[in-house]
Amino acid sequence: MSTPPPMTLTVPARFCGPPRSGNGGWTAGAVAAALLAELGRETAVRVALRMPPPLDTPFDLARDGEELTARHDGAVVATARPGEEPTPVAPVDVEEAREAEARYPGLARHPFPTCVVCGTGREPGDGLRLFTGPLTGDRSAATWTPDPSLAPGANAQDVGTAVTWAAVDCPGAWAADIGERLMVLGTMTARVHHPAVVGEEHVVVGELRGREGRKTFTGASLYSPSGALVAAAEHVWISVDAADFT
């Protein structure tokens, strides 16, 4: 019997967060997608990031039961396993989300302008440009119309798991005001319920859910134009020194 080829995963430079490492949500989503393919069923997945994900470098993926581990040069980059269903953030209408975008704090000061999700230094059609502005009640919101270049195939309309996870990553951090309290993603638990469709205006909402020492707890949810829940996520962020990520 032939031995199956080893599984690998690479974070393309396009999907960076800080300049030298992968966006946490995209990386976590890509690892989650690999686990779901191995399990052969849909479920919420919890991904823990153990180090800044290197760019344009293959990770080795190894499955042990229901856990998948990504390693680079023997060091653990991330682990993924089935998780508990995230509690969605309540939706807002598209007009309220558009108004919130104008209040996006990153327009004045952004810790990681290169970030593929929320970076102000990324051009339309390259970054997601998800600019979530504050709402009442420790929440943030924005609209998002997925660009065709984010879909995995030339004629695809679904942007896929990794990009959808990315879209429900940074909105949580901005609800917790990452501009004033610099954080990186520690763990993320998410479930994709429906595809995020290219060319359709979605609404994303983030929410601060608590703090404990260096940890900040948030949630984020993505909604379709009809108001259907596309994806829900919960995060644990870790406060860091900016010098370690620039």
Per-residue model confidence (pLDDT) at position 5: 54
The fold for domain 7-82 equals: Thiol Ester Dehydrase; Chain A (3.10.129)
Domains 7-82 and 94-245 equal at CATH topology level:
yes
Helix (H) or strand (E) holding 24: helix 24-39
pLDDT recorded at residue 246: 55
Q: What is the pLDDT of residues 153-179, one digit of tens each?
A: 755 788 999 999 999 999 999 999 887
Residue 216 in this model has a pLDDT that exceeds 60:
yes
**Predicted pLDDT at 245:** 53
Domain ranges of the chain: 7-82, 94-245
| List of long-range contacts for 216-221, beta carbons under 8 Å, 24+ apart | 216/173, 216/176, 216/181, 216/183, 218/172, 218/173, 218/175, 218/176, 219/86, 219/87, 219/88, 219/89, 219/172, 220/89, 220/168, 220/169, 220/171, 220/172, 220/175, 221/88, 221/89, 221/91, 221/168
The mean pLDDT value for 22-37 works out to 97
pLDDT tens by residue, 113-123: 999 999 999 99
pTM of the shown model: 0.94
Cα distances (Å, whole numbers) of residue 185 to 28, 172, 214, 219, 220: 10, 10, 12, 12, 13
Considering the domain 94-245 in this protein, what is its CATH number? 3.10.129.10
